Amino acid sequence: MRHSRSPRPGAAFAAVLIVTAAVTSGCGSGDSDSTGKSETRPTSETSPSASDSGSHARSSPSTSSSSDSASQDSSPALPDALTRQKPQWSRCPVPNAAQGTDAGSPSPLPRGARWECAKLKVPLDYSKPEGRTIGIEMIRAAERKGGGKRIGSLVFNFGGPGGSGVATLPSFAREYEKLRGRYDLVSFDPRGVGRSEGVRCLSDERLDAYFAADWTPDTDAEERRLFRRQASFAKGCQKRAGKLLPHLTTENTARDMDLMRQVLGDRKLHYFGISYGTELGGVYAHLYPRHVGRAVFDAVVDPGSTPARGSLSQTRGFQLALDNYLEHCAESGEQCPLGEDPKEGKERITGLLADLDAEPMPTDSGRKLTEALAEGGIAQALYSKETWDLLTQGLEEALVDSDGSTLLLLADALNGRSQDGTYSTLQSSLAAISCADNKERYSAREVKNKLPDFTEASPVFGPTSAWGLTSCHDWPARGRWTSPPVRATGSEPILLVGTTGDPATPYGGTRAMKEELGKGVGVEVTYQGEGHGAYDSSNVCVRKVVDGYLLRGLVPRDGKSCR
């Protein structure tokens, strides 16, 4: 399958946050706490307090920034040349093709503040810390004066794996301006992404053909072509980035973040992870539980799933989001191109995909809309309720006018294709990180055995998701694990924010992450709404809870609900 979906749960469609930043302004919603209980103020700035139940009480945090007693990381100690490096912050360059040229220059900050960028040197191989280093591109917006006592740096990861944090953080500058009152806002391109040794597996022209290809084989010949494409993709990655591939693991990126913490001068890592960023945060908390400061996981990944179980859960999540969209569309009456019956609407979509499998549709760009691109475009629009109108427009064009232009535009956003025809490293990086992490390698027979379950879960997304389990076919590096270790005994409370209508990281992942982190670590917050990620939905209740925790250390009661 094309690499727009990772074989890991919650890592699919990594372009979502980058794209929806440009189209989502959001509307404030009501503040509803289903428990009726209030938050509690912490006893200090650096250590959030217990909730009113007392289940999250913590002793005084360790003052050590890198001692073995505060870490479960067994890699050798890092040399002073790395831990004492001083980043050379300077004006950020315009995002390059690897980061996505459509991102443009970082948006200006209020009061004349500017974005600054710097390189962090990290070991390629943490088992050989004196060996080769690679550069990790960082971006920051310095703390806004007058916002209160400085807490430290707040490090963001926006998901993927494969998304450029350097290109994405400025897109959300307005959303996070309140947080800048007490933090430097910091993000980065993880290893293998963007300007941090970004992986590029195929040329732009070959990627056009790759993403447009048939990823739901109906014959033995089509199946052979699918596996040849996967092998060719893997060969391209090996040729262009072979020595990097074994080291592009989530575990190593977590180690990079702890080195970043030290270099930024923070005693603890204050962190905001979204989607895959919650998995990365969980792995960090496992390795360095006593280095965890105020941490928020939004759109939470289920860390315990195998790739197959996670992909099936995600397939159900996208189908749920599509069903919710179809209900919404049907209620609009004649304005809905899918009719007034949601069941009929689903049949029209599956019929459209079948027609495109037989004959691609023209677009105003001269390129063709194929079945794979249309399915990806539909999925892209389901990431946010704010893009449902765009989905309606795209479906109307396709069904009424035989014009695939809008669905192709959405698919390009999903695949990291800029308007100038260049691709970011998004999908190549996603594949490289996922396959470095995951041990599982699925055969055609295994996929065919699972195909009925996937198709039953979603006739729209199921077949593509099932064949997507072959994403690491012929990959030149072994995977690290079946599922990531995230147990974080001794960590400060971590806020886990789950959305009931989330397509990419289904709501059940929130509870699963809470259980895996261990007793007394995860604090669950539910947003009863649509879309991937709650904080950037601009829901007033979610904002109040998260801001209260990050800015004042207020730990909400476990089980708080927002509508």
Radius of gyration of the chain (CA): 22
Q: Which two tokens stand for residue 531?
A: 């879309």
Tokens encoding 72: 């479960």
Cβ atoms of 14 and 426 closer than 8 Å = yes
The Cα–Cα gap between 219 and 228 comes to 14
d(CA 144, CA 151): 12
| Alpha helices, H only, 245-306 | 250-264, 276-287
Catalytic hit among 187, 275, 305, 483: 275
Distance CA 374, CA 357 (A): 10
Measure the CA–CA gap between 280 and 293, rounded to whole angstroms: 15
d(CA 203, CA 195): 17
Contact 448/454 with Cβ under 8 angstroms?
Answer: no
Instruction: Out of 208, 298, 302, 502, pick the active-site residue.
Output: 502
- Is 47 one of the annotated active-site residues of the chain? no
Angle formed by the axes of helices 405-415 and 204-212, nearest 10°:
120
Contact of 24 with 166, CB cutoff 8 Å: no
The reply to whether 536 belongs to the active site is no
Task: Confirm whether 341 is a catalytic residue.
Answer: no
Q: In the chain, what is the greatest distance between 2 CA atoms, to the nearest angstrom?
A: 67
Residues 143, 188, 313, 451, Cα dihedral to 10°: 160
**422, two tokens:** 């260049």
Cβ-based neighbours of 428, under 8 Å, separated by 6 or more: 3, 162, 198, 199, 200, 201, 202, 237
The answer to whether the Cα torsion of 190, 195, 196, 202 is positive or negative is positive
Contacts of 510 (CB under 8 A, 6+ apart): 300, 496, 497, 498, 524, 526
Question: Is the bond into 161 cis (omega within 30 degrees of 0)?
Answer: yes
* CA dihedral sign of residues 469, 473, 475, 481: positive
Task: Locate the DSSP E strands across 396-545.
Answer: 494-501, 522-530
541: which residues sit within 8 A by CB, 6+ positions away? 29, 30, 31, 32, 33, 527, 562, 563
Find tokens 């069903």 and name the residue.
323
Selecting among 171, 532, 536, 537, the annotated active-site residue is 532
- Separation in Å, CA 213 to CA 237, 354, 414, 556: 19, 14, 15, 48
Task: Round to the nearest angstrom and report the end-to-end CA distance of the chain.
Answer: 36
In angstroms, the Cα distances linking 65 to 83, 135, 154, 198, 266 are 10, 22, 16, 29, 8
Active site residues: 275, 502, 532
